[in-house]
A and B are shown apart, each in its own frame.
Chain A
């Protein structure tokens, strides 16, 4: 700030408070809806202030789910989502860090080709090749399995690029010293590169965990057995039933539960999240 303008300062705060309120309002309404009984939505305006049924609604969704909508209990879907997000995040980091290592620290025929093959995955999001990818997964017998949910999403150009950029900034002397001391490639990777990459791995983990958690189209395609439903796709089934039966309170309880884990990850690890977001887009 270069000068003091009290009126502009007040306006700034006002604008931000309105901004925060508008951004948070839909979630507030969802929370309020999740604390009422089903009768609150039968007619007229949805309630604006919290009601007394919060614990009933959440307990019911967590343990029983809404069987009329064909959705399993929320706890099961939360576990599936957690497994899926963790596997995708860890898998992407693991295979990307070793491919970046191969590309930066070795010279071998077809190195450029390998780099471009990884690069191309950036241009082929699942959304544009829905049918043939589904067919491959079906042919491999991976429908309705955790492998089918996660493995096809594990390749990652952005993570590979991030690690490649980072490895290129590591001084060559480090590796020369390690070689003089008789360290082989795997020892150098384990004892020097991995510890140096710690912050990058953590930042990437936050971004990729969220990426895995919010996946919707892919679980929708590969799971038909409700045992493998993730919470994000299960919500669709719940919502589809809410339009005919007024179970908004239960649907919104599930919505709140679906949002909570990734939002908590961002709020608790905000610094890593911002670092990851900015660096993966370079």
Chain B
């Protein structure tokens, strides 16, 4: 690994400098993760007196549990929905801002702040707008003959959490798309314009392909966000309901562990989630580091 050509000769100082970070990492990250792996192979009796080693039973039971499979498919729908909606809107806005010279900065300022809104607060804002009794959206939908009720209708609930989660993520995607658009060489665009390509043709044949590294990077980040950073949104709006329609994998770890007190199953779910994060991180570092080059 890279370091400096010349270095300080001290033997003990580097360990002292690393100690705070490593101690916290071991106590609060590695040790709990190891505990999760261990208890995912065990069953604890209801009073916590005896634990028995049961190999992969917690895992096989999970894969046979319709509730878990439902949570997995909910998570997939949710992640795809959030990624497409928030990236689509962000790209549209970023392309628009990129066309403007001076006023672009002004619009950027007005678009970046939702990044600072906590997920649970974002959830509550949209929950209020979609409230079946006093919210504005159900009121408007009623005029079209649709009775919105996310407390009863699972699809409505899923749409609500997707919209709330996307809203919060737009500003992040927007900033990265703007940065990506600014690095597209002006000379290419001008050459295409001289050859008679209109703005839409230029976007689809030049700008969009050149943007693919940014798009790919954001896709991974958004999937990661939708899977792991949206606990607050779901807890604040639907709490996994109605009837498990918006129960995601992360929400289920919490619900099974803290509310249901099923330690073994919750630990097995944690381990599966760790594998997903590891896979996403590896993809991000291997492919995003290299970036798609032209």
Contact = CB atoms under 8 A, between A and B. Distances in A.
Interface of A: 1-3, 5, 8-9, 12-13, 15-16, 19-20, 23-27, 29-30, 33, 41, 43-46, 48, 94-96, 98-99, 101-108, 111-112, 114-115, 117-118, 120-125, 127-137, 140, 151-152, 154-156, 160, 168, 172, 175-176, 179, 184-186, 188, 210, 213-217, 221, 232-233, 235-236, 239, 248, 251-252, 255, 258-259, 262-263, 265-267, 270, 273-274, 277-278, 281
B32 A135 contact: yes
A134 B266 CA distance: 13
Contact of B118 (A111, A112, A127, A216): A216
Given A1-B99, A107-B3, A132-B39, A127 B24 contact: no
Contacts of A13: 100, 103
A130 B254 contact: yes
Contacts of B32: 129, 132-133, 135-136
A198 to B, nearest CB: 20
Interface stretch (B5-13, B51-59, B75-83): B5-13
Contacts of B170: 23
A95 B167 contact: no
Contact of B253 (A41, A128, A140, A251): A128
Interface in B143-193: 167, 170-172, 175-176, 179, 186, 189-190, 193
Contacts of A115: 1
A232 B170 CA distance: 21
Nearest to B130: A26
B227 to A, nearest CB: 9
B270 A131 contact: yes
A160 B22 CA distance: 12
A20 B111 contact: yes
A95 B235 contact: no
Contacts of A217: 231-232, 254
A8 B199 contact: yes
A154 B101 CA distance: 41
A262 to B, nearest CB: 4
In this complex, the member of B32, B36, B96, B217 whose beta carbon has the largest number of chain A beta carbons within 10 angstroms is B32
Nearest to B218: A281
Interface string B102-132: 0100011111111111111100111111010
B129 A26 contact: yes
A239 B24 contact: no
A137 B28 CA distance: 8
Nearest to B109: A270
A41 B96 contact: no
Interface string B225-239: 000110110011000
Nearest to A206: B116
B4 A255 contact: no
A104 B96 contact: no
Interface string B1-35: 11111111011011101101110111111111101
A121 B32 CA distance: 12
A251 B124 CA distance: 10
B258 A131 contact: yes
B250 interface: yes
A128 B273 contact: yes
Contacts of A43: 133-134
B24 A152 contact: yes
B268 to A, nearest CB: 11
A2 B228 contact: no
B292 interface: no
B22 A128 contact: no
Nearest to A270: B109
A49 to B, nearest CB: 13
Given A135-B35, A239-B124, A278 B176 contact: yes
B35 A29 contact: no
Contact of A107 (B7, B110, B232, B258): B7
A213 B2 CA distance: 34
Nearest to A264: B116
Query: Which of B7, B21, B172, B232 gathers most chain A CB within 10 Å?
Result: B21
Contacts of B273: 127-128
B205 interface: no
A118 B21 contact: yes
Q: Which 9 A-B pairs have the closest CB atoms?
A: A262-B116, A132-B32, A214-B118, A132-B35, A102-B17, A106-B14, A26-B125, A102-B14, A128-B273
B67 interface: no
Interface-centre pick from A2, A9, A124 (highest chain B CB count, 10 A): A124
Contacts of B253: 127-128, 130-131
Contacts of A168: 2, 4
Contact of B266 (A105, A131, A255, A266): A131
Contact of A136 (B31, B100, B107, B108): B31
B18 A102 contact: yes
B135 interface: yes
A129 B272 CA distance: 11
A128 to B, nearest CB: 4
A26 B124 CA distance: 10
Contact of B6 (A103, A140, A179, A232): A179
